[in-house]
Structure 1
Amino acid sequence: MDQRIINLFDEYTHAPLSRKDFMDRLTKLAGSAALALSALSVLEPGYAAAATVTPEADDLETEEVTWPGDGATMKGYLVHPKGKKKRGAVVVIHENRGLTPHIKDVTRRVAQAGYLALGVDGLSPLGGTPADEDKGRELIGQLDPMKNLNNYLAALTYLRGRPDSNGRTGAVGFCWGGGLANQLAVHDPKLDAAVAYYGSQPKAEDVPKIKSNVLLHYGGLDQRINAGIPAYEAALKAAGTKYELYVYEGVNHAFNNDTSPARYNAEAAKLAWDRTLKLFKEKLG
């Protein structure tokens, strides 16, 4: 697919660009309305095929949980292996559409690797994640940033307090959630591991606050997010933070999202996931 089309879709999903303006520009790039719709079919997530680990997997237990947030009751999708055992816990942070079927599937993947996995619905204060993606993106922009951060910090506190937790915690986030994973590393000195997939970087002056190990995954074609890499890496080095940073050449933003065929890259996704689980094994037990 023409990289200009992928870049336009990235702009649409992250900037205040109306659906009409997006479709008008997409039609011009594609050459016709029919070709624009064809391109859109492989750009937009196909959640019907989201499950790589089914919700009914025999080895997992799932439940809907709540915990007190900053002025709101937070809701989440908790998944863990069957059996009584204290485990490391991981907060899974969604993209800018909310707790979608894809992110629930990622939560099950984390659980199947042996952890307490909590997919937080960051849109809980606004009624929860809607089925309409565009509405989800609109609602994300209405969240109070500080309250939102506090809600995720509260999720980590909730996990540490569970009787089936060993007290060690990690976070993995994607896109919007990748940026938030970086912020959790800054603001929670108890966090053991933070993994950010193509997420915005924290301010350089905040980096010395990071106590956790940090793992950063970026797509080589993601110019928007990658512009912040040099300053972040320089700050990590200066602070002596334990980190790993990988740029996967030739792949796009959202390369891990296997429900978006135009941007998904199986090879990069597998390598990044293997590296993610390796860090969790080392730091969370």
Structure 2
Amino acid sequence: MTTVTTRSVEYPADGLTMVGHLALPSGIDRRPAVLIGPEGIGLDDVDRRRAEALAGLGYVALAFDIHGGRQLTDPEEMLARCMPLLADHDRMRAIGHAALDVLRAEPRTDPDQIAGIGYGTGGGILLELGRDGADLRAIGTVNALMTGRPGEAARIRCPVWAGVGSEDPIQPAAQREAFAAEMQAAGVDWRLVTYGGALHAFHHPGATSDKTLLPGVGYHPRHAQRAWNDIVNLLAESVPLGETIETGGAGTVSR
């Protein structure tokens, strides 16, 4: 594991001042990068730790914001903001592109080697980036089987990996089938992993019985670790971390 430095990054999107969490590995060379999208509650310490874990592996990582620096822990408030957002493909794309631009502008980022991973609403935003033709090397999502506008999945230019709990009532079998049909019809290189017995937000340690949560939400530690391992493997396949190479006066680039 490499030494990691972090900082907050403010940028405008969706009429708000977003506050992302940027994590950088040690060194001065350019590295493959990962854009991380949060669940509907918004950017929290779980997302920050994910960014730092990926930086520890050697990636530049940006966990992006969707609520202007806020966490919406009240389910009604969260749904009141997220449901209209999820219904507005262009708005999701604008939020995603704003964050992607920040990550791409970071001097440590290799702009040709960027992947995206996202959870719930953040995963939906990353899928919309893909449907908008964004230059990503991979998209990995958990609890984000949102379908897009007809035909637009054909613009996805990278592999898509998706994970979902078998007992997720928010994304039941019919939703899984619709997502798979969309990806297949578009000719996308896609994978869908169903984690047996897991509920919605099974990846998130905060989804425990002592919190006021939506029905059908619950943490599953074993599957959470498995899903994380699957995402790390996706990144290793799509944006591999290699040895740095000299690029003359421009410094070094990781390949």
The TM tier, using the shorter chain, reads 0.7 to 0.9
> Does 1:233 find its partner at 2:177?
no
Alpha-carbon offset, residue 169 of structure 1 = 1.2
Tell me the distance in 2 between the aligned counterparts of 1:136 and 1:105. 25
- State whether residues 2 and 25 of structure 2, in contact with CA within 8 Å, keep that contact through their aligned partners in structure 1: no
Code of the aligned partner of 1:97: I
Residue 50 (structure 2) pairs with residue 109 (structure 1): no
C-alpha distance in 2 between matches for 1:115 and 1:205: 32
- Which of 190, 211, 220 is equivalent to 1:243? 190
Q: Corresponding residue for 2:146?
A: 201
| 1:178-189 aligned within 5 A | 178-189=123-134
What TM-score results when the alignment is normalised by the length of structure 1?
0.71
Identity between Structure 1 and Structure 2 (%): 27
- The offset of 1:110, in angstroms, is 2.4
Give the length in aligned residue pairs: 225
Distance in 2 separating the partners of 1:136 and 1:120: 20
Deviation by residue 1:117-146 (Cα, 9 ceiling, x = unmatched): 11111112xxx214x611861444575943
- The amino acid that maps onto 1:81 is P
Q: Which amino acid aligns with 2:66?
A: G
The RMSD of aligned alpha carbons is 2.4
Asked if 2 retains the 8 angstrom alpha-carbon contact of 1:96 and 1:136, the reply is no
Instruction: Mark the CA change 1:231 to 1:148 in structure 2 (over 3 Å): closer, same or farther.
Output: closer
Return the structure number with greater helix share. 1
Aligned to 1:169: 114
**Structure exhibiting the larger radius of gyration computed from Cα positions:** 1
Residues 122-177 of structure 1, C-alpha deviation per residue, up to 9 Å, x if partnerless? 112xxx214x6118614445759433421221211221222211111111111222
1:252 is matched with 199
64, 67, 83: which one pairs with 2:8?
64
Q: Contact 2:32 / 2:109 at 8 angstroms: preserved in 1?
A: yes
Deviation at 1:68, TM superposition (A): 4.3
Pick one of 220, 224, 227 that aligns with 1:269.
Answer: 224
Q: Which residue of 2 aligns with 1:214?
A: 160
> Contact 2:153 / 2:183 at 8 angstroms: preserved in 1?
yes
Structure 1 alignment gaps of length 5 or more:
1-56
- Alignment partner, residue 170 of structure 2: 224
Q: Distance in 2 between matches of 1:140 and 1:237?
A: 27
Structure 1 residues 201 and 141, CA, compared in 2 at 3 Å: closer, same or farther? closer
| Length-normalised TM-score, structure 2 | 0.79
Q: Which of the pair has the greater relative contact order for Cα pairs under 8 Å at 6+ separation?
A: 2
Higher strand residue share: 2
What does the per-residue CA deviation read over 1:5-61, in whole Å, with 9 as the maximum and x for residues that have no partner? xxxxxxxxxxxxxxxxxxxxxxxxxxxxxxxxxxxxxxxxxxxxxxxxxxxx98210
Q: How far is 1:91 from its partner? A: 1.4
The residue identity in structure 1 corresponding to 2:134 is P
Q: CA deviation at 1:238?
A: 2.4
In the alignment, does 2:73 pair up with 1:133? yes
1:5-154 counterparts in 2 under 5 A? 59-69=3-13, 71-124=15-68, 128-130=69-71, 133-134=73-74, 137=78, 138-140=80-82, 145=88, 146-154=90-98
Structure 2: segments with no counterpart, 5+ residues: 210-217, 241-255
Q: CA offsets per residue over residues 205-250 of structure 1, 9 Å max, x none?
A: 3221211210000100013313211122122222221111100111
After superposition, the Cα gap between the structure-2 partners of 1:70 and 1:96, relative to the gap in structure 1 and judged at 3 Å, is closer
The CA deviation at 1:67 is: 3.2
CA shift for structure 1 position 272: 1.4
Query: 1:136 and 1:94 mapped to 2: Cα distance?
Result: 16
2 CA distance for matches of 1:81 and 1:58?
Answer: 6
Task: Tell me the distance in 2 between the aligned counterparts of 1:271 and 1:231.
Answer: 24
Contact 1:81-1:112 within 8 A present in 2 as well? yes
